[in-house]
């Protein structure tokens, strides 16, 4: 029997495939990660902490990731701190807060709505952070393709962390940059800015491929039919406007050894 090809063998377009959120929270958690790392037993997080973080991800406009450094794989001992990054994309665009906490219980004392609002006192991290998905327990493509990218970014002098599932195994290697909240895949292609809807990401991706970066643009969309929108972005005194269409993607294997599922494609009309 011929084995199925890996999900990352797909030639599906990456444009407008990023998940959306108002806030990213990345928490350092060394040790092994299971397929669903945030759930109880999915890592060595205390069960209470795991339950709270799962609740944030499931019920609020927050996405929580666990991160680890290849150079800090030991389990934390008394007196050691763990890193926490918070990026409130909508309320404080371009801002990345950094906390160093001794006890992960400190994280769940935050009001999650305060995190989304960016309304708290914490040091601002001055540099970009790259989070590369290497969670091979979730999908082997992430480990096989993510680790070489992590090494490449480290060699280039970037601050890089391994992370749990970001979304989109089939676009591996997948990584997230903060504070801009952009997700990248495959050969460094832009999947989209996660504070934008997929409709807006389609416009962003289209112009990015043409050499125009709309980072920081303001967006406006008007629905013109069941499956199309007029989307406008303006940046530095210039307007960018296109019709975005939604179509059926058809069956696609989103993860290795899983059944193919349907989905949608968002792209510029006639592109």
**pLDDT, position 1:** 47
Query: What is the helix, strand, coil percentage profile of the chain, to 5?
Result: 20, 30, 50
| Residue 230 β-bridge partners | 222, 243
**pLDDT, position 78:** 54
How many CB atoms within 10 Å of residue 1?
A: 3
Taking 50 as the pLDDT cut, the residues of the chain under it are: 1
Tell me the three state secondary structure of residue 206: helix
**Cβ contact 62:90 at 8 Å:** no
Which helix (H) or strand (E) segment holds residue 113: the answer is: helix 112-117
**pLDDT, position 11:** 74
**pLDDT, position 44:** 85
**pLDDT, position 136:** 66
Alpha-carbon span 166 to 128, nearest angstrom: 17
**pLDDT, position 239:** 96
């Amino acid at each position: 029997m011929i084995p199925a090809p890996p999900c990352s063998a797909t030639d599906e377009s990456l444009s407008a495939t990023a998940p959306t959120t108002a806030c990213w929270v990345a928490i350092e958690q060394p040790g092994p990660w299971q397929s669903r790392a945030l759930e109880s037993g999915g890592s060595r997080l205390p069960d209470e902490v795991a339950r709270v973080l799962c609740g944030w991800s499931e019920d609020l406009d927050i996405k929580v990731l666990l991160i680890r450094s290849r150079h800090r794989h030991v389990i934390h001992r008394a007196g050691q701190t763990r890193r926490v990054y918070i990026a409130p994309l909508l309320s404080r665009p371009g801002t990345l807060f950094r906390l160093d906490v001794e006890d992960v219980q400190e994280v769940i004392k935050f009001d999650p709505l305060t995190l989304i609002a960016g309304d708290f006192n914490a040091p601002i991290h001055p540099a970009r952070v790259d989070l590369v998905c290497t969670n091979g327990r979730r999908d082997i493509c992430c480990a096989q393709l993510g680790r070489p990218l992590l090494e490449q970014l480290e060699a280039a002098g970037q601050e890089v962390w391994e992370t749990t599932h970001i979304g989109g195994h089939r676009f591996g290697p997948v990584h997230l940059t903060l504070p801009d909240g952009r997700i990248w895949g495959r050969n460094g292609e832009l999947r989209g800015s996660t504070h934008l809807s997929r409709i807006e990401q389609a416009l962003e991706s289209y112009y990015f491929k043409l050499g125009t970066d709309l980072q920081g643009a303001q967006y406006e969309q008007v629905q013109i039919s069941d499956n199309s929108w007029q989307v406008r972005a303006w940046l530095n005194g210039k307007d960018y406007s296109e019709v975005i269409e939604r179509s059926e993607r058809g069956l696609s294997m989103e993860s290795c050894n899983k059944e193919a599922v349907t989905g949608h494609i968002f792209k510029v009309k006639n592109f």
